[in-house]
Amino acid sequence: MSNTDLSNEETKLSHATLPRGAQWLVGVAAVALGGLALVLGMGIVGAAVIGLLGFLIGYPLWALLVENRRSATDKLVTGLVWTAFAVAVIPLIWLVYTVVSRGAATLSPEFLTYSMRSVTGDEQGGLYHALMGTLIVTGIAAVISIPIGIMTAIYLIEYGKGNRLAKTITFLVDVMTGIPSIVAGLFAFALFTLLVGPGTRFGFGGGVALSLLMIPTVVRSTEEMLKLVPDDLREAAYALGVPKWRTITKMVLPTAIGGIVTGVVLSISRVIGETAPLLVASGFNPNLNTSPFEDSPMMTVPVFIYTQLSEATAKGVEYAWGGALVLFILVMVLNLIARIVGTIFAPKTGR
């Protein structure tokens, strides 16, 4: 008898199915098993693992006994997929809840409009100087990185396909993608030490350090978006005698602009929370400094969080959680902007 005949025979014989709500019954039993493990002193984590294993084993085993092997395999794989989803989402939910619950109490108009200049004891301070520094340093990094990254991607896709220089640039971009962030800070610090003088820390140095981290992301995201533009558009323009540069500016870039802007915004949100390069290149300063070229350290929100937490005082911890919430809101707003821009500029489909 062939395998097909055996499968058909198994299907004919397997008329029985699990009762409705079987997964809930197994879930209740798994919770009870986890509760028993908790009573026996295995801890919350151990009880959760025991309950999860009980569900992942019990539900497919019941399906195997009542239905067939195919149904049991389906339920086992489905359980593993949902488990992987929970493992990924639960820490994220816990992180968001912790940051919001602990940082919300610190947020106030004074916290957002005061600096830490001459703050001692129980005096009210804030992160206004760090917030302004973050916006300035990140803006400098964006001004440096966006044109370089987009033009590099245009060269790689439109002009340098297959040649040796393009391969070298692609290799260097891959290398830059994997460098530790503190290396970028050390490079900027060493560069301006040679150009300006020993111990130079200022806002522009932090912007240069962040640009080294942004450029590879902008290049990669723009490169992938340009690859999605159909070659038919380019060939149609060339057939009409349109120069290559005009084809790129009038047809290729407008078609890919939604993905390019989304990638740029996401690259900004990626570097806005960097601490190590800014600590090395920009330093820390309790006073407000809005001049990125002044030979004076410029505080940023990540460095503010680090310095406040390093003080190991109750007030410092509160300020650190408040700064973390402000940084979280900034990143969330940037990601929301990326989603909106991507939706607005997405190519229209249908008629």
C-alpha 265/C-alpha 277 separation (Å) is: 20
* Assigned domain for 12 exists: no
**In the prediction, which pLDDT does 346 show?**
65
Q: What is the count of structural domains for the chain?
A: 2
268 and 205 in a single domain? The answer is yes
211 and 326 in a single domain? The answer is yes
Q: Find the CATH number of the domain harbouring 256.
A: 1.10.3720.10
**In the prediction, which pLDDT does 178 show?**
84
56 and 144 in a single domain? The answer is no
Side-chain half-sphere CA neighbours of 228 within 13 A: 16
72 and 141 in a single domain? The answer is no
37 and 96 in a single domain? The answer is yes
Mention every residue, 6+ apart, whose C-beta is less than 8 A from residue 50.
Answer: 33, 34, 37, 42
Q: Mean pLDDT in runs of 10 for the chain (351 residues)?
A: 52 64 81 82 81 82 83 85 87 90 87 79 79 91 93 90 87 88 90 86 90 92 90 87 88 86 86 88 85 86 88 83 90 84 68 48
pTM for the whole structure: 0.78
Mention every residue, 6+ apart, whose C-beta is less than 8 A from residue 298.
Answer: 133, 136, 137, 202, 203, 206, 282, 283, 285, 289, 292
185 and 303 in a single domain? The answer is yes
Write out the residue range of the structural domain in which residue 318 sits. 128-350
**In the prediction, which pLDDT does 15 show?**
59
* Assigned domain for 233 exists: yes
165 and 242 in a single domain? The answer is yes
256 and 153 in a single domain? The answer is yes
Mention every residue, 6+ apart, whose C-beta is less than 8 A from residue 117.
Answer: 129, 286, 287, 288
**In the prediction, which pLDDT does 219 show?**
93
* Assigned domain for 119 exists: no
160 and 272 in a single domain? The answer is yes
